[in-house]
């Protein structure tokens, strides 16, 4: 808790600023403080890597109701809803249906799937109203967060119980069967605070009738993509003593989802159109301040995800094919972190972690699988000169598939003048293969249990993907104009890239002639640049904007990847979100996001360039002692566009929301 104190104080100040007169000093306060980049509390211009902070003001102004959509506010990110209730996200390309090259954390708890490497956003037991901020580290960060913190890290930081006293009731309704209801209550005393949240959410993701919706789609039929998810979570913050505190968090969710499609493609009948999903977690965090020079934290959590979907299809001359997509995953994690200050100009953090993961999926593996990994990490920050900050660290990791790897990072920052910093950094990171990449053996079975056909076969033993990244960054702040900016140039090289290779590995099956196997297929080179800025010219205006340009080159043994990987990063992408506060509690915001043509890897298509425009109009006031907010949000107010696949048609939609707090 002590490590998060600057963030909590900053949040409290921000809340007070909304109710009080905003003065010139509000534009000249300290830069945002980040916690995730080095595990040390530091302002963004002292962090050893590029980071974007999505705060509560940006979250509210965006009008987004799904957490992955918030990544549209980050330079270089591509976001899309895929199908089967999954989301895709990529940073400067390489995005696929599983987001497997991103590490996603909630309060430091990894939600990265050990099965596919996917992030199951749709059944995450977390309300967007409970998010305090999101810190997105743009670039590898395995030196701090281990393997799979490969191209970026997303740490979602939720609100402490003390930040949300009282009761909040919120509801949303709109087009595309948009429904949402949330109830949250917080209370307690100075020593023990709590909050509980329960919510139900419903979405219809795309236009169901996809016949002729987009030029060149060449498909017809009906999509069933829709979600109905209910969840509950809670948090207790206990001040045990003046120097010790503990946080206990828990959550559970249940999703009853529609999925799949009904088209002329005969294989679509093998895609279940009903899905059941359940998730649970328990997260403990103990923090102790041993002395002014040392504090330590012990974190433990356990997560469990269960997914099930079934389908039966009769093929003439073959028989009844039974699809059973049962999947159970668990993760148990224990971590120690020690922060130390040795001298006024020298501080650091060190610690270790042990993690056990299991996966059970009868149609994907011949047996239940499990593995244990161990990590040790360290990071040092040295103020070599009032203008020079030197940082370095490394992660030593032993993975159950790939053995021991070392992920180092070094960065040096030079202050040109107050508020203007240049940073040079180099880092190395690994991405360990997932259970499915290493040992996936997906099959189709007949009703009697016999194997009809083989979809994937296990690998011959994969090496981890390795990335080496170089960056040059310039962070500036012009107080007179009330503007902050961050410019980053990068050059990355990935070796031992893991991809699917099609081949005739086993005797021909009844449904498909070839099978897939994951292999280390070659190298990928990436280079580009990005800029983000935040401009608050007056107390009414708040504008954030970003632009990114990327270029990828692939040299692999699979021609499809050599063609697709360079297209997986939009050559140009940009976004802007602007908000204006009127008198009387009114505020309006408009957001626009553009991507050039993008090829989503794995099951994705080449989707055409598009510009999406959203708008929000809201008013807040006090009524009979209750704080009331009413908002009207329009999403994609321009033309329909395709997400991930050319048949995933995202159309214009409008919804309204109302909330009461007391």
Identify the pLDDT of residue 23: 39
In degrees, rounded to 5, the angle at the alpha carbon of residue 265 between the alpha carbons of residues 262 and 267 is 95
Residue 392, CB-side half-sphere exposure with 13 Å CA sphere: 6
Contacts of residue 156, defined as CB under 8 A and 6 or more positions apart, other chains included, come to 67, 104, 105, 106, 107, 126, 131, 134
Split at pLDDT 50, 70, 90, the class of 221 is: low
Q: What is the pLDDT of residue 212?
A: 55
Give the pLDDT score at 30. 61
pLDDT at 283 over 50: yes
**99-134 pLDDT, tens digit each:** 889 999 999 999 989 998 888 887 889 999 999 999
Question: Which residues are paired to 178 by β-bridges?
Answer: 174
Res. 407: pLDDT tops 80: yes
What is the per-residue pLDDT across 509-546, written as a single tens digit (0 to 9) for each?
A: 777 788 999 999 999 999 999 999 999 999 999 999 99
Tokens of 283: 């997260």
Residue 322, Cβ neighbours under 10 Å: how many? Answer: 18
Please state, for a pLDDT cut of 90, what percent of the chain lies above it. Answer: 75
First-to-final CA distance of the chain: 26
CA distances from 457 to 360, 506, 559, 630 (A): 16, 9, 21, 53
Q: What is the pLDDT of residue 18?
A: 36
Report the alpha-carbon angle 509-510-515, nearest 5: 35
Question: Which two structure tokens, joined as six digits, stand for 576?
Answer: 């802007």
pLDDT for 225 equals 77
Are residues 320 and 447 in contact, defined by beta-carbon separation less than 8 angstroms? yes
Are residues 136 and 154 in contact, defined by beta-carbon separation less than 8 angstroms? yes
Distance CA 459, CA 559 (A): 20
Q: In 3D, which of 98, 152, 106 has the Cα closest to residue 127?
A: 106
Nearest to 29 by CA among 51, 62, 6: 6
Query: Do the Cβ atoms of 485 and 533 come closer than 8 Å?
Result: yes
Average the pLDDT over 293-316 and give the result. Answer: 92
pLDDT at 22: 38
CA distance 467 to 139: 10
pLDDT digits (tens, 9 = 90+) for 612-651: 999 999 999 999 889 999 999 999 999 999 889 887 888 8
Each residue's pLDDT tens digit, 537-556:
999 999 999 999 999 999 99
Return the residue matching tokens 């668990």: 330
The whole-angstrom separation of Cα 298 and Cα 240 is: 15
Residue 658 banded pLDDT, cuts 50, 70, 90: very high
pLDDT at 60: 96
pTM of the model: 0.92
Task: Using the predicted structure, report yes or no on whether residue 4 has a pLDDT greater than 90.
Answer: no
pLDDT of 588: 98
Write the DSSP symbol of residue 189: -
pLDDT tens digit string along 419-454?
999 999 999 999 999 999 999 999 988 988 888 889
pLDDT of residue 449: 86
13 confidence band (pLDDT: 50, 70, 90)? very low
Task: Please give the average per-residue pLDDT across 180-199, as a whole number.
Answer: 97
Helix (H) or strand (E) holding 353: strand 346-360
Sorting pLDDT into bands at 50, 70 and 90, what band is 10?
A: very low
Maximal C-alpha separation, the chain = 79
pLDDT band at 465 (very low <50, low <70, confident <90, very high): very high
Which residue bears the tokens 């211009």? 45
Task: Tell me: pLDDT of 582 over 50.
Answer: yes
Q: How many residues does the chain have?
A: 662
Q: How far apart are CA 564 and CA 506, in angstroms?
A: 27
Using pLDDT thresholds of 50, 70 and 90, give the confidence band for residue 505.
confident
pLDDT digits (tens, 9 = 90+) for 140-156: 999 999 988 999 999 99
Q: What is the rounded distance in angstroms from the CA atom of residue 662 to the CA atom of residue 161?
A: 15
Determine the pLDDT at residue 27.
Answer: 40
Beta-ladder partners of 339: 295, 349
Please return the burial class of 162, using the count of CB atoms within 10 Å of its CB with bins 0-12, 13-18 and 19+. middle
Mean pLDDT value across the chain: 90
The domain made up of 5-661 has a fold known as Maltoporin; Chain A (2.40.170)
Q: Measured between alpha carbons, how far is 437 from 518 in angstroms, rounded to an integer?
A: 6
Q: What is the pLDDT, as a whole number, of residue 424?
A: 98
Torsion (CA) 161, 166, 167, 168 in degrees, nearest 10:
-70
| pLDDT classification of 12: cutoffs 50, 70, 90 | very low
Query: Is the four-CA dihedral 267, 261, 359, 150 of positive or negative sign?
Result: positive
| Sign of the Cα pseudo-torsion (508, 514, 515, 519, in order) | positive
Mean pLDDT of 581-585: 95
pLDDT at 19: 36
Strands 369-385 and 244-258, by their bridges, are unpaired
Sorting pLDDT into bands at 50, 70 and 90, what band is 217?
very low
- In DSSP notation, 59-124 reads HHHH---SGGGGGGGSTTEEEEE-STT-EEEEESS---TT-TTEEEEETTEE-B-TTTS-B-GGG-
């Amino acid at each position: 808790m002590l490590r998060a104190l600057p963030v909590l104080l900053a949040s409290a100040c921000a809340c007070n600023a909304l109710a009080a007169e905003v003065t010139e000093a509000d534009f000249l306060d300290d830069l945002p403080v980040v916690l995730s980049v080095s595990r040390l509390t530091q302002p963004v211009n002292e962090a050893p890597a590029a980071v974007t902070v999505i705060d509560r003001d940006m979250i509210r102004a965006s009008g987004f109701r799904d957490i992955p959509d918030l990544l549209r506010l980050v330079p270089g990110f591509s976001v899309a809803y895929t199908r089967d209730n999954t989301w895709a996200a990529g940073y400067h390309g390489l995005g696929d249906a599983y987001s497997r090259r991103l590490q996603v954390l909630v309060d430091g708890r990894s939600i990265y799937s050990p099965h596919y490497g996917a992030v199951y956003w749709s059944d995450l037991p977390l309300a967007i109203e409970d998010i305090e901020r999101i810190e997105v580290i743009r670039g590898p960060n395995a030196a701090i967060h281990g393997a799979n913190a490969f191209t970026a890290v997303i740490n979602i930081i939720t609100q402490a119980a003390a930040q949300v006293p009282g009761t909040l009731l919120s509801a949303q309704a709109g087009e595309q069967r948009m429904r949402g209801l949330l109830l949250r209550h917080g209370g307690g005393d100075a020593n023990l605070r709590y909050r509980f949240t329960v919510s139900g959410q419903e979405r219809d993701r795309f236009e169901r009738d996809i016949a002729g919706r987009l030029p060149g789609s060449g498909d017809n039929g009906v999509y069933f993509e829709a979600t109905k998810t209910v969840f509950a979570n809670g948090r207790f913050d206990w001040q045990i003593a003046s120097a010790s505190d503990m946080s206990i968090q828990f959550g559970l969710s249940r999703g009853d989802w529609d999925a799949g499609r009904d088209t002329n493609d005969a294989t679509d009948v093998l895609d279940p159109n009903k899905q059941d999903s359940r998730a649970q977690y328990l997260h403990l965090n103990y923090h102790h301040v041993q002395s002014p020079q040392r504090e330590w934290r012990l974190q433990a959590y356990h997560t469990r995800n269960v997914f099930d979907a079934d389908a039966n299809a009769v093929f003439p001359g073959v028989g009844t094919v039974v699809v059973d997509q049962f999947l159970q995953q668990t993760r148990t994690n224990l971590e120690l972190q020690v922060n130390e200050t040795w001298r006024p100009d020298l501080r650091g953090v060190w610690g270790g972690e042990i993690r056990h993961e299991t996966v059970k999926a009868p149609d994907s593996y011949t047996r239940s699988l499990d593995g244990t990994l161990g990590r040790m990490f360290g990071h040092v920050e040295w103020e070599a000169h009032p203008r020079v900050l030197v940082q370095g660290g490394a992660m030593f990791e032993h993975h159950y598939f790939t053995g021991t790897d070392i992920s180092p990072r070094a960065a040096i920052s030079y202050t040109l003048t107050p508020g203007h910093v240049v940073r040079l950094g180099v880092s190395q990171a690994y991405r360990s293969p997932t259970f499915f990449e290493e040992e996936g053996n997906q099959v189709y079975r007949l009703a009697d249990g016999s194997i009809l056909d083989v979809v994937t076969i296990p690998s011959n033993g994969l090496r981890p993907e390795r990335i080496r990244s170089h960056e040059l960054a310039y962070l500036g702040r012009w107080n007179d104009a009330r503007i902050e900016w961050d410019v980053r140039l990068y050059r990355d090289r990935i070796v031992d890239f893991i991809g699917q290779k099609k081949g005739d590995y086993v005797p021909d099956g009844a449904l498909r002639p070839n099978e897939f196997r994951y292999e280390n297929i070659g190298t990928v080179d990436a280079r580009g640049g990005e800029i983000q800025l935040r401009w608050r010219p007056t107390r009414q205006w708040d504008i954030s904007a970003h632009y990114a340009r990327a270029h990828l080159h692939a040299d692999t043994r699979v021609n499809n990847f050599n063609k697709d990987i360079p297209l997986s990063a939009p050559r140009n992408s940009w976004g802007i979100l602007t908000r204006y506060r009127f008198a009387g509690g009114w505020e309006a915001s408009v957001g626009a996001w553009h991507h050039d043509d993008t090829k989503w890897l794995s099951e994705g298509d080449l989707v055409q360039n598009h510009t999406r425009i959203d708008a929000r109009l809201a008013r807040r006031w006090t009524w009979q002692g209750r704080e009331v907010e009413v908002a009207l949000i329009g999403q994609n107010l321009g033309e329909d566009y395709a997400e991930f696949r050319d048949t995933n048609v995202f159309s214009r939609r409008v919804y309204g929301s109302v909330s009461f707090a007391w």
